[in-house]
Amino acid sequence: MTSVPQFAYVTLVTNADYAMGATALANSLRRTGTDAAIVILHTGGVDAATLAPLDALGCRLVEVEHLPLSDAFNERHARGNLHSEAPFTKGRKPAFHSPLDNFCKLRLWQLVEYERCVFIDADAIALKNVDKLFAYPEFSAAPNVYESLVDFRRMNSGVFVARPSQETFRKMLAVLDQPDIFWRRTDQTFLETFFPDWHGLPVYFNMLQYVWFTMPALWDWESISILHYQYEKPWEKDHPKAARLQPLIDLWHCFHIGGHVPEIASLANPDEAA
């Protein structure tokens, strides 16, 4: 693809942990040869030293504020209250995960200097060039598949295609914060509701790591474009599923340090690694 400054990959960094994740993501995107911008939305809680590796990679750093949401909304979606009302039963969210931060993703629609944006969560890496995503319509996202075929009916907001628009952003705020409303999976539930006719991307544009051990027949290294480390993060020390996910964790570290990355086609498949 030729130089297209009107296109941008966007991610969100809200603390030092996700800054590490974003560094691996940015390294992975650079390796694909993309000419698109890489934009890091970051909240005020991330200091300059933490962001320095991303700046060195040529990423554009854009500081954003949390959305202007009511106190009641923020209380309902605070970590303790949300996890109590809608607990995660399939995996463990790390201590540094703050659900309210997720809504900052919506700031992407304010990046009107770009014609089209592809959002990628900071806990993901790109294994091949995915510039073709910029040709997909708003709103495009992959299904939330990590346990069974039933998951195909739900959306995962870890990767999505959007067209920035101040008008869309205004409409989002009007829908987002209403009396007693509860977004069970924060931005993901909201976006699925706001865009009810969302366009389904192939699952390989957002391959969730649990597929490695729950649905090994679906895992195909040659097809995977973006690998998403949902739930436990690859930089955590000895997380509960580390042993089962070790090959994927090792791959993430290769991207994080910017060193040698093995040929994807040479990597073992789940059945072989077991």
Where residue 137 sits, what CATH number does that domain have? 3.90.550.10
* Partners of 12 in the β-ladder: 41
Domain range for 110 is 7-273
Q: What is the DSSP letter of 33?
A: T
Low-confidence ranges of the chain (pLDDT < 50): 1-2, 4, 88
Structure confidence at residue 88 (pLDDT): 47
- Number of domains forming the structure of the chain: 1
| Domain membership flag for residue 1 | no
Confidence (pTM): 0.91
Structure confidence at residue 89 (pLDDT): 52
Structure confidence at residue 258 (pLDDT): 85
| Domain membership flag for residue 2 | no
Q: Residue 136: what residue type? A: Y
- Measured between alpha carbons, how far is 128 from 15 in angstroms, rounded to an integer? 27
Q: Residue 230: what residue type? A: Q
Q: How many CA atoms lie within 13 A of 60 on its CB side?
A: 14
Structure confidence at residue 264 (pLDDT): 85
**7: which 2 tokens?**
């296109």
What are the E-state strand segments in the chain?
7-13, 37-42, 60-63, 116-120, 124-126, 140-143, 155-162, 199-200, 207-208, 226-228
Selection from 158, 53, 162 nearest residue 117 by Cα: 162
Structure confidence at residue 1 (pLDDT): 44
